[in-house]
Amino acid sequence: MSGPVDRYLELMMRCLTRELFLDQEVRDVDLTDWPGDRRELLDVLRPRGWRLVERTADARTRAVGHDWPPTAETMVGGARLANVTACARRVLDDGVPGDFVETGVWRGGVCILLRAVLAAYGDLDRTVWVADSFQGIPGPDGERYPADEGIDFSGIPALAVSADQVRANFERYGLLDDQVRFLEGWFEETLATAPIDQVALLRLDGDLYQSTMDAMRALYPKVTVGGYVIVDDYLAWDGCRAAIDDYRTTHGIDDEMVEIDWAGVYWRRSR
C-alpha cells in the first residue's frame, strides 16, 4: 500500500492535468471567433452573446499529453509527470546536491509538482527555478540557428502565459514561497547569469534548437554527478533533438538516453 508521500504526489499529478475532473471540463468558445458554416444560426446567436461549449479530451488523450487542456496547469501528460517525480525523488533519496530547474514552464504545472516533491520530503534547502519568457516562444532565428527555420510558434496566444498567472497557479496549491524563484525573460538573456550554483534536476521544454541550446550551454555544466537532465520535446521536434545531439557530441556526453513516451527522454549524469 502506498504511503502518504506517494498519495499526495499522485493526487497532485492528477489535479495538475485535471484528469480527476475531465467529466466537468468543457471548452468555452466565443462564437464571434467560431468559423461555423451555419451562417443563419450564427447570425442569430452571436448578437445575443451566446458561446459554444464542448466537451474536452478523454482520459486517454490527456494521459499521454496529446491535447492542450483549457484549464490544467500542464499539458505534458501522466508519463512525463511520473518521470519528473521519480527523478526528483531519486536525487533527494540519494542526497544529490543542487536545485530543480525547468526552462519553458507554460502554466507552471511541472514546477508546481517539483515544489510539491520538496514539500513532501520536508526539504527546506533547495530552490525550484521557474525559467520562461512569459511571452510565449520566440520567433525563429534562421540565420544563427538553421534548424529552427520555418518553425514559428511566436504568434500562438495560448503559449504566452504571464508570470503573474503562473504565480497564481502556485498559490492555488499553497506552494508559492521563497523556495520558488522566477527567471523572467528570453533564455539567452537570463540563464547564463542566473544565480544558480548547482542543479540536481534540469528539465528542458523549449521546443526550438535555440531555446534548447541556450539552456544546455548555461545550465548543463552546473548539473551535478547523479543529477538528471529531462528533455520534453526530444522525440517531438527536430530542432530540439538536433540541439541535444549537437551538445552531447561536442562535450562527449555518452550517458544512456532513456525514452519516457512519444516525446520526452532523460539521462542521468554519471561523470
67 within some domain: no
174 within some domain: yes
Domain co-membership, 36 together with 99? no
Q: Report yes or no: 269 and 227 within 8 Å, Cβ to Cβ.
A: yes
Domain co-membership, 157 together with 29? no
Average pLDDT over residues 232-261: 96
**Contacts of 44 by beta carbon, 8 Å cutoff, 6+ apart:** none
Pairing outcome for strands 199-204 and 223-231: parallel
70 within some domain: no
Q: How many domains does the chain have?
A: 2
Domain co-membership, 134 together with 246? yes
Average pLDDT over residues 202-212: 95
Rounded CA-CA distance 44/23 in Å is 30
Domain co-membership, 116 together with 241? yes
pLDDT the model gives residue 71: 87
Average the pLDDT over each of 21-35, 157-171, 214-228 and give the range with the smallest value.
21-35
Between the CA of residue 125 and those of 97, 115, 117, 219, what are the distances in Å? 10, 12, 13, 19
Domain co-membership, 55 together with 183? no
212 within some domain: yes
Domain co-membership, 217 together with 147? yes
Domain co-membership, 54 together with 103? no
pLDDT the model gives residue 35: 53
- pLDDT bin (cut points 50, 70, 90) of residue 9 is very high
Domain co-membership, 260 together with 138? yes
Q: Which residue has the cell 490544467?
A: 72
Domain co-membership, 55 together with 92? no
Average pLDDT over residues 235-258: 97
| pTM beyond cutoff 0.75 | yes
pLDDT the model gives residue 170: 98
Residue 261 CA to its chain's centroid (Å):
15
Between the CA of residue 199 and those of 125, 164, 238, what are the distances in Å? 13, 25, 26
- pLDDT bin (cut points 50, 70, 90) of residue 60 is confident
Q: What is the pLDDT of residues 122-174, one digit of tens each?
A: 999 999 999 999 998 888 877 788 787 877 778 788 889 999 999 999 999 99
Annotate 85-108 with b (16+ C-beta within 10 A) or e (fewer): bebbbbbbeeebebbbbbbbbbbb
Q: Is the pLDDT of residue 38 over 90?
A: no
72 within some domain: no
How crowded is residue 171: how many other Cβ atoms within 10 Å of its Cβ? 12
Residues 173, 93, 89, CA angle at the centre, nearest 5°?
35
If you average pLDDT over every residue of the chain, what do you get?
89
Average the pLDDT over each of 71-80, 95-104, 211-220, 242-251 and give the range with the smallest value.
71-80
Domain that holds residue 29: 4-62
**Contacts of 173 by beta carbon, 8 Å cutoff, 6+ apart:** 12, 15, 112, 116
Residue that is last in its domain, among 33, 62, 91: 62
Domain co-membership, 49 together with 83? no
Within 13 Å, how many C-alpha atoms sit on residue 95's CB side? 0
Enumerate the β-bridge partners of residue 27: 54
156 within some domain: yes
Domain co-membership, 136 together with 247? yes
200 within some domain: yes
152 within some domain: yes
Residue that is last in its domain, among 37, 62, 87: 62
Q: Is the pLDDT of residue 53 over 60?
A: no
Q: Which residue has the cell 530542432?
A: 239
Domain co-membership, 107 together with 212? yes
Which one-letter amino acid corresponds to residue 105? Answer: V
Q: Is the pLDDT of residue 24 over 80?
A: no
- CATH number where 94 lies: 3.40.50.150
Which one-letter amino acid corresponds to residue 169? Answer: N
